[in-house]
Amino acid sequence: MSGFVMPLEDAAPRYRDDVPNFRRPPQDGINALALGPVMKSPVLAVPIAEIPYHSRVSDREEKLPFAVALMGAPGTDLKLIDTAIQILQSLHLPTVVEVGRSMYKD
């Protein structure tokens, strides 16, 4: 199956009391998530890591999820999901995420 791996956005904490100053898309040009609908292709956001940061709210280390977008050819929706699962398994990454402070079991 052919496809693309695309960045979603910069991974940085966003606090509710801050005025939003991020821009969409975070990169110059077309937003990666806008390509799928235009090309009639499936897009799947896949969490692949957590990025630690020091939270000014909890005053401790928290973790931000980091995800990439996978885009497949038109009509390959289920194949894209199967391929993502195969890739995660081959990299020994979880295929299920948790709720709470961390998306992975400790």
Would you kindly state where each structural domain of the chain is located, as residue ranges? 3-11+22-90
Which residues of the chain carry a pLDDT beneath 50? none
62 has which bridge partners? 53
Residue 105 tokens read as 């079991």
In three-state secondary structure terms, 24 is coil
Res 21: pLDDT: 67
Can you give the pLDDT at residue 20? 72
Residue 34: predicted pLDDT:
80
- How far from chain centre, in Å, is Cα 41? 17
Contact between residue 42 and residue 72 where contact means Cβ atoms under 8 Å apart: yes
Q: Are 95 and 57 within 8 A, CB to CB?
A: no
Neighbours of 42 (CB within 10 A): 19
Whole-number Å distance between alpha carbons of 91 and 100: 24
